[in-house]
Structure 1
Amino acid sequence: MDKCMDRYFVKNSTGILKKVLMCPPEYSHLKKDINKNYDIKIDRKRCNEEHSELVDAYRSNGVEVELMIPNNQLYDQVFSRDFGACIKEGYILGNFRIDIRKGETADYEQKMNELGIPCIARCRNGYFEGGDFWMLDDKTIAIGILERTDQKGIDEIRSQIEKYGYEIMSVKSSEKCLHLDMCFNIVAEKIAVICKEVLPDEFLHILKNKNYELIEVDKSNLLECYCNLQALGNGRVVSFKNNKKVNSALRADGLDVIEVDITEMFKHGGGIHCMTFPLNRI
């Protein structure tokens, strides 16, 4: 383990991203669109090409990428973000709500053991998935309650990590998004991309008090992953090429936007942030 990781793992959401864990979409498959009631055909070859482009974007910007060996029984394993979350002291192991994803837990837990990253909290009775997890600053954590995480899971996490000095808040939304990262994303220090109309006033008030600048996304664009970006630190953010309005706003704020072509993967139900699990952020 390098000297940086000896000190801490992930300090916040906006520091310099040094290392991530990802999983190629080797076993992407036909997936039922529950909103439109038909199967969407996923081009597996194209998905793998897009994933490779994202990996290359990270590596060319100084981010080390650790790759999982895909399990042919785990069709959603590409969304590495969701098995848990990493903080300064180690990682939190989540608990998937839906059966099709439960098998991912053992694979990712084994990988984290191989990487030497300690598990400092584990969700067993409630539900928690990493797409709902955000560090608003070094000691303030917001966890979404949308479709996949519940209050019991948040309470379990709080009871195990509050000894480290973290304040944890729940963020509810009535919108049918899987995770909070579909409607809220911290892209740089004190800058967030957000859909205000689906989030509670209490949360918006907290962001205002913490002096966040908010780049707004319309509710109609949520399922197109307009908020699903990845901060690299040092004023850099990875977005996708068709996210033109958001990318323009990010550049207007002085951010360096690294664009990748991620369109086929969207059919699989997630975006850039969903496919990226931070292991080390300084």
Structure 2
Amino acid sequence: MNKCFVKNSTGILKKVLLCPSDYMKLQPINVIAEKWIKENNELSIKNCIREHKDLIEAYEENRVEVALMEPDKNMTNEVFARDFGACIREGYILGKFKEPIRREETEAYRKKLEELGVPCVAKVTKGFFEGGDFWFLDDNTLAIGVVARTDETGIQDIREQISKFGYNIIPVKCPKENLHLDMCFNIVEDKLAVVCKQALPDSFINILEERKFSLIDITQEEVFKLHCNLQALGNGRVISLKSNREVNNKLRTYGINVIELELSEILKNGGGPHCMTFPLERI
């Protein structure tokens, strides 16, 4: 029997791939980083390293095995491990970065997944696709954002390669300033999602409601504070930000165990715990 890697968005997370933040640098490739650059801010690498270690510790304390990339000084956004592709039941999809500054990461992550024994079942060569746009709505339905860095051509390339596995793909178009779908939509537990309705198309909200999702709505301003960028661990647990007080409190009313982390320095580069996490095994 073939191994199952990741079959949904909310099962028990068993193993992840992360990249330490040793060489992070603000780059003007999203609205959040651009804001900090305009204010002449620089990152404190010391704080970035500490915050990333706290993320690793949170995973390990929750019995999630952590595999680590070897950070490269030439790959200043490599910490956002989510984006090079996506993991499904059969293996992983190797994406294609839109931003030239990130393209070197593809080969580094490909080699790592080969080392980890995860087979590549699809490779995007037409258009663009980044993992921050990828979600399971159920075991066989995938929502893929068409935001700033994934396009319809990339989605069609994926569709043609994985249709043999029985997946249905729903494209979700959002305003480009949202960067990736995981900035304005996040499934935190079965039938529970944090969303920015203002940023999502009505047709997608209707799909979620038809599927009986409970929705915690945030504002567009909160999107840029990464209040939607959470990481579900399964079994009613989620990693969030200490600063995300209102969402965290609402999650607790649904019985969710919220693990709060201080990640304010890394957030300046435009990504949160979901962006930093590539799931390798979720049962």
For normalisation by structure 1, the TM-score amounts to: 0.96
Give, as a single letter, the amino acid of the residue that structure 1 aligns with 2:24. S
Corresponding residue SS for 1:224: coil
Alignment RMSD, CA only?
Answer: 1.2
Deviation at 1:35, TM superposition (A): 4.8
Q: Paired residue for 1:25?
A: 21
Q: Paired residue for 2:161?
A: 160
Q: Paired residue for 1:57?
A: 58
Residues 63 and 36 of structure 1, relative CA distance in 2, 3 Å threshold: closer
Deviation at 1:18, TM superposition (A): 0.1
Deviation at 1:37, TM superposition (A): 6.1
Match of 1:12 among 8, 18, 24: 8
* Counterparts of 1:269 and 1:254, CA distance in 2: 29
CA offsets 1:112-152 (integer angstroms, 9 cap, x no match): 00011100001012100000000001000000011000000
Question: Where do 5+ consecutive residues of structure 1 fail to align?
Answer: none
**Does the aligned pair in 1 maintain the 2:227–2:244 contact within 8 Å?**
yes
* Counterparts of 1:147 and 1:109, CA distance in 2: 23
**Does the aligned pair in 2 maintain the 1:239–1:272 contact within 8 Å?**
yes
Deviation at 1:25, TM superposition (A): 0.7
Q: How does 1:69-84 map to 2 (within 5 A)?
A: 69-84=70-85
Corresponding residue SS for 1:34: helix
**Does the aligned pair in 2 maintain the 1:81–1:274 contact within 8 Å?**
yes
Deviation at 1:72, TM superposition (A): 1.1
* Counterparts of 2:37 and 2:83, CA distance in 1: 25
Stretch moving more, 32-41 or 234-243: 32-41
**Does the aligned pair in 1 maintain the 2:6–2:281 contact within 8 Å?**
yes
* Counterparts of 2:130 and 2:120, CA distance in 1: 15
Deviation at 1:29, TM superposition (A): 2.2
Corresponding residue SS for 1:153: helix
Size of the alignment, in residue pairs?
278
Q: Paired residue for 1:273?
A: 274
Q: Paired residue for 1:236?
A: 237
Stretch moving more, 26-35 or 239-248: 26-35
CA offsets 1:210-262 (integer angstroms, 9 cap, x no match): 11110111111111000000000001101011100000000000111111111
Corresponding residue SS for 1:232: strand
Q: Paired residue for 1:245?
A: 246
Give, as a single letter, the amino acid of the residue that structure 1 aligns with 2:252. R
* Counterparts of 2:235 and 2:62, CA distance in 1: 11
Q: Paired residue for 2:219?
A: 218
Deviation at 1:40, TM superposition (A): 2.7
For normalisation by structure 2, the TM-score amounts to: 0.96
**Does the aligned pair in 2 maintain the 1:85–1:133 contact within 8 Å?**
yes
Give, as a single letter, the amino acid of the residue that structure 2 aligns with 1:101. R
**Does the aligned pair in 2 maintain the 1:19–1:65 contact within 8 Å?**
yes
* Counterparts of 2:153 and 2:176, CA distance in 1: 20
Give, as a single letter, the amino acid of the residue that structure 2 aligns with 1:183. C
Moved over 2 A (4+): 29-37
**Does the aligned pair in 1 maintain the 2:122–2:158 contact within 8 Å?**
yes
Corresponding residue SS for 1:237: strand
**Does the aligned pair in 2 maintain the 1:31–1:41 contact within 8 Å?**
no
* Counterparts of 2:27 and 2:151, CA distance in 1: 25
Q: Paired residue for 1:34?
A: 34
Corresponding residue SS for 1:264: helix
Corresponding residue SS for 1:136: strand
Q: Percent identity?
A: 53
* Counterparts of 1:31 and 1:233, CA distance in 2: 33
CA offsets 1:31-50 (integer angstroms, 9 cap, x no match): 44435762431000100100
